[in-house]
Amino acid sequence: MESAKYDEQDAQILAISCNSRFSLNKFAESLNDPDFPLLADFWPHGAVGEAYGVFNAERGLNARSIFILDRDGVVQYAKQYEPGTLPENEELLAELAKLS
């Protein structure tokens, strides 16, 4: 994702995973240290994903999802993606533009 485009929309990208902080640090290294935070939903395991309705208790992980929240913290856009699928920047930027 091109975070500069999101900065122009006054938006912040956060990635949340059920993996441990150690795993996320290794993943960040493999991504050449992305310029957005990777947050651990590790303990209590999956609590954030459960709150957003995307935690799969059977598999112990969150579904790949995107949420766009407005300034008041209200979810304005939500979409789940198949494993291995990444969201399109154009789609997300268009949704962000609707909030301005």
Tell me if 18 sits within 8 A of 46, measured CB to CB. yes
Condensed to tens digits (0 to 9), the pLDDT of residues 86-98 reads 888 899 999 999 9
Domain ranges of the chain: 3-93
Q: Is the pLDDT of residue 1 over 60?
A: no
Tell me if 65 sits within 8 A of 78, measured CB to CB. yes
Condensed to tens digits (0 to 9), the pLDDT of residues 45-89 reads 999 999 999 999 999 999 999 999 988 999 999 999 998 888 888
Q: What are phi and psi of 56, to 5 degrees?
A: -105, 100
Other CB atoms within 10 Å distance of the CB of residue 63? 15
Query: Looking up tokens 């709150």, which residue turns up?
Result: 51
Tell me if 35 sits within 8 A of 13, measured CB to CB. no
- Name the token pair of 10: 């006054």
Which superfamily, per CATH, for 3-93? Glutaredoxin (3.40.30.10)
